[in-house]
């Protein structure tokens, strides 16, 4: 018996609209999607029953063994540690926006985690640490994804079978399960992407009721989840682009309805601007305001940020600091590169290795505060004055010739016309001399851009170059790391191009007891300046993520074919290996190819004037409408990675996987309906249900077969007593 809800849907699709309702084409699409043919799969009561079953199975599979392994797994090292820092209000640097980490910290705090565990490395046992609450919240967010996929496909096709297939494919993908069962950002990212897509589908299904309360509610929720996805990781931008494409298309359709005045289109434009641009932007700024307000104490990430930024952090030497307002000869200073994310000039006792330039003391830049960052300003012709000297104080000025002596090793900053170790077009910079003695290659000139001769050098606010007196090159900080012999710190060279912005430096800390101290509070930046700098540092950090020797990473072409997984735990006690369900992943590629072939074939037929029966046209329209948008979503979440220069991992493909999985559910439903239309009704029904049963049984069995990869196993695939014995279907899988 058809429920009242379905009857109301039918009546709306048959109702003849007046001029105040939605555009003609959009109303036709809504009517087609809600037509009787698309409702043959079951009534609303069946829909809710299936949805409840998916929810129960999803929660059960995600919470099963969520406490194991009871040691740190993969990137729990990072995000668990960051949760601790939030709880302790300790500032840190990370390449991702803060919302996901803040929510992990909140879940830990509310479930009793005290923020005292160090999360040093994968494999560290948790012991008595109350980590379970953070994992459970991540697992519950992951459990919400299959039901949201089900609802999304239902709203876009009104086919219960397509929704069941799509929801089941996500439910039985043990890769999605693994990725959302640990203390990681991916649970939050996938949840917000899925929620955004579901809200967009719900919003579009209300096209025949514009500006109603439910219409505004789903539009507002869409903007909220879009902002949330972007606030977890910058790749959330892809779902924003997807929603933007859909919005532009909707507005274009509305504009084409000649029955409506331009003011009607303008109202839709304003509504979307408020909910999808202004509100998400405000929410994103609020997230960062909370982030910067909570992390008020100095931490090990301070050095990635400017001197002024650091002055806002409690416990930082620059917080409420007082120091001399001038730099003098004899001052002990730290020099920070002025570029975004610039680091400190640093040296240590280690020498450059044989065959790498001149075998003298290494000079690098280092992003963390360290005693090896301290240098003493000396005159080029005499030793640095003692702090208890009675000689007149000589201030450092524009144009002065100086030597910079490394305080700990007592060697001078030095350069010569020898190619740098990595950047061969620049000159090598070293530490040279013994106990402060050296030669003419230790002499540098202070050069303030656009400054006048005699202008004084002030800490924090004076920006200057340090120019080598003999060769005319300028001290330069790279944003690329040295090899292991340089401890992967950043290279420092002498750059013949004086105008490069990476040649600029400022004095950060300044110690000289013979000058009076003044407060540095005047240099504290406002929230907008900190907000902008935080983004510049994050973006630079993302661009600088390069593969390290021996580190396992994946290339985009490997992801869709399930070429290689990713270790989550390689501990002797229990192994966890992230791998997608090969039945689902390989099937997605097949059905995506089928869709593209069908799309091209049907488009050519229609262009040539070959029209099918109306019932066939409706079936094709349903498939084409949903699958085309799923394909666009997949492309927007996958193709951009091909252009990225940063290191990429296998788990980056999972947002795109959600879209390809939904496409598979719809295209299978379309193929079965098309095949069934060629058979008698009884045979068509048997074929449909038997095929659906076989598909669902197959993916459920494959989930059970490979589930040890997600829930933990011992041994290897070659060991006959291991639960993963015989499951290594392709050689590139590593378990």
| CATH 2.80.10.50 describes domain 321-521 | yes
User: Across residues 19-37, what is the average pLDDT?
Assistant: 44
For residues 722 and 268, the model is more confident at 268
Q: How confident is the model at residue 614 (pLDDT cuts 50, 70, 90)?
A: confident
Residues of the chain by 3-state class (helix, strand, coil), percent to 5? 50, 15, 35
Beta-bridge mates of residue 474: 467, 495
* Mean pLDDT across 583-596: 96
> According to the model, what pLDDT value does residue 492 have?
95
What does the pLDDT read at residue 551?
A: 59
- Residue 128 DSSP SS3: coil
What pLDDT, on a 0 to 100 scale, did the predictor assign at position 532? 94
| DSSP assignment letter at 699 | H
Q: If you average pLDDT over residues 413-419, what whole number do you get?
A: 94
Is residue 4 pLDDT above 70, yes or no? no
Q: Is the pLDDT of residue 293 over 80?
A: yes
Over residues 18-24, the mean pLDDT reads 41
When pLDDT is averaged across residues 336-359 and rounded to a whole number, the result is: 90
Any long-range contacts for 26-29 (C-beta under 8 Å, 24+ apart)? 26/207, 26/208, 26/250, 26/253, 26/254, 26/257, 27/207, 27/208, 29/207, 29/621, 29/625
pLDDT-based confidence at residue 550 (cuts at 50, 70, 90): low
pLDDT of residue 340: 80
Check residue 552 and give its pLDDT: 60
Kindly tell me if the per-residue pLDDT of 127 is higher than 70. Answer: yes
More confident position, 193 or 5:
193
Residue pair 334/318 in contact (Cβ under 8 Å)? The answer is no
What is the per-residue pLDDT across 139-151, written as a single tens digit (0 to 9) for each?
Answer: 999 999 999 999 9
DSSP per residue over 183-203, as a string?
SSSHHHHHHHHHHHHHHHHHH
- How much is the pLDDT for 17? 40
The per-residue pLDDT for 548 is: 62
| pLDDT value, residue 217 | 97
Those residues whose C-beta lies under 8 Å from the C-beta of residue 216, and which sit 6 or more positions away, are 271, 275
State residue 644's pLDDT score.
87
The per-residue pLDDT of the chain, averaged, comes to 89
Buried b (16+ CB within 10 A) or exposed e, 331-340: bbbbbbbbbb
Position 33 pLDDT exceeds 70: no
Decide: residue 499, CB within 10 A, 0-12 exposed, 13-18 middle, 19+ buried: exposed
Q: Looking at the predicted structure, is the pLDDT value of residue 526 above 70? A: yes
| C-alpha to C-alpha distance for 567 and 513, rounded to whole angstroms | 54
Work out the pLDDT band at 8, boundaries 50, 70, 90: very low
- Cβ-based neighbours of 734, under 8 Å, separated by 6 or more: 564, 565, 567, 577
Per-residue pLDDT at 493 exceeds 60: yes
Looking up tokens 């005292």 gives 116
Give the mean pLDDT of 319-332: 91
The mean pLDDT of 76-86, rounded to a whole number, is: 96
pLDDT tens digits, one per residue of 717-732:
888 788 888 899 999 9
Q: Where are the domains of the chain?
A: 1-34+188-287, 321-521, 554-735
Q: What is the pLDDT of residue 221?
A: 98
Backbone angles phi, psi at 564, to 5 degrees: -150, 140
């Amino acid at each position: 018996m058809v429920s009242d809800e379905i009857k109301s849907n039918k009546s709306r699709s048959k109702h003849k609209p007046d001029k105040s309702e939605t555009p003609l084409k959009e109303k036709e699409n809504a009517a087609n999607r809600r037509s009787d043919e698309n409702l043959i799969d079951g009534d609303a009561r069946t829909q809710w029953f299936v949805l409840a079953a998916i929810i129960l199975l999803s929660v059960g599979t995600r919470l099963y063994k969520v406490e194991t392994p009871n040691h740190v797994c993969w990137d729990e090292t990072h995000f668990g540690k960051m949760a601790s820092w939030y709880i302790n209000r300790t500032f840190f640097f990370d390449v991702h926006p803060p919302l996901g980490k803040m929510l992990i910290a909140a879940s830990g705090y509310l479930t009793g985690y005290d923020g005292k565990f160090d999360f040093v490395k994968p494999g560290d046992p948790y012991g008595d640490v109350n980590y379970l609450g953070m994992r459970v919240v991540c697992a519950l967010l992951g459990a919400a994804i299959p039901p949201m996929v089900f609802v999304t496909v239902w709203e876009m096709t009104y086919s219960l079978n397509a929704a069941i297939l799509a929801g089941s494919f996500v439910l039985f993908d043990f890769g999605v399960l693994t990725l959302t069962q640990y203390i990681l950002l991916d649970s939050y990212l996938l949840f917000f992407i899925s929620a955004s897509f579901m809200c967009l589908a719900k919003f579009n299904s209300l096209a025949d009721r514009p500006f109603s309360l439910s219409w505004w509610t789903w539009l507002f929720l869409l903007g909220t989840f879009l902002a949330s996805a972007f606030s977890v990781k910058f790749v959330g931008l892809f779902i924003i682009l997807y929603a933007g494409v859909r919005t532009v298309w909707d507005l274009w359709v509305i504009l084409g309805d000649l029955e409506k005045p331009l003011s009607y289109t303008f109202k839709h434009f304003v509504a979307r601007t408020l909910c999808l641009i202004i509100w998400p932007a405000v929410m994103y700024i609020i997230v960062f305001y909370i982030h910067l307000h909570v992390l008020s104490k100095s931490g090990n990430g301070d050095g990635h940020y400017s001197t002024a930024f650091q002055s806002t952090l409690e416990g930082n030497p620059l917080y409420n600091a007082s120091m001399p307002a001038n730099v003098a000869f004899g001052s002990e200073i730290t020099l920070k590169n002025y570029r975004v994310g610039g680091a400190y000039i640093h040296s240590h006792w280690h020498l450059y290795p044989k065959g790498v330039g001149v075998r003298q003391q290494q000079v690098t830049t280092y992003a963390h505060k360290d005693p090896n960052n301290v240098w003493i300003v000396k005159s080029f012709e005499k030793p640095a004055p003692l702090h208890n000297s009675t000689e007149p104080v000589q201030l450092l000025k524009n144009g002065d010739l100086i030597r910079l002596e490394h305080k700990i090793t007592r060697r001078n900053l030095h350069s010569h016309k020898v190619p740098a170790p990595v950047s061969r077009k620049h000159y090598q910079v070293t530490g040279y001399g013994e106990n402060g003695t050296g030669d003419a290659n230790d002499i540098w000139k202070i050069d303030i851009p656009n400054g006048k001769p005699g202008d004084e050098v002030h800490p924090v606010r004076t920006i200057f170059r340090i120019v080598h007196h003999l060769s005319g090159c300028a001290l330069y900080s790279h944003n690329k790391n040295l090899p292991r012999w340089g401890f992967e710190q950043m290279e420092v060279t002498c750059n013949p191009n004086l105008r490069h912005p990476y040649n600029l430096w400022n004095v950060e800390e300044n110690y000289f007891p013979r000058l009076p101290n003044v407060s540095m509070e005047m240099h504290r930046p406002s929230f907008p300046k900190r907000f902008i700098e935080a983004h510049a540092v994050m973006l630079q950090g993302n661009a600088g993520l390069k593969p390290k020797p021996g580190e396992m990473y994946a290339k985009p072409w490997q992801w869709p074919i399930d070429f290689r997984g990713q270790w989550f735990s390689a501990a002797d006690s229990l192994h966890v290996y992230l791998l997608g369900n090969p039945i689902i992943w390989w099937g997605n590629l097949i059905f995506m190819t089928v869709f593209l072939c069908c799309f091209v074939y049907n488009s050519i037929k229609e262009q040539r004037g070959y029209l099918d029966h109306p019932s066939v046209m409706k079936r094709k329209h349903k498939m084409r409408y949903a699958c085309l948008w799923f394909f666009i979503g997949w492309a927007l979440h996958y193709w951009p990675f091909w252009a990225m220069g940063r290191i990429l991992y296998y788990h980056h493909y999972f947002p795109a996987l959600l879209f390809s999985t939904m496409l598979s559910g719809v295209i299978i439903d379309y193929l079965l309906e098309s095949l069934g239309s060629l058979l008698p009704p009884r045979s068509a029904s048997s074929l449909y249900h038997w095929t659906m049963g076989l598909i669902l049984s197959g993916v459920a069995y494959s989930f059970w077969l490979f589930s040890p990869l997600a829930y933990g196993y011992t041994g290897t695939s070659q060991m006959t007593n291991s639960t993963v014995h015989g499951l290594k279907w392709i050689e590139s899988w590593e378990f």
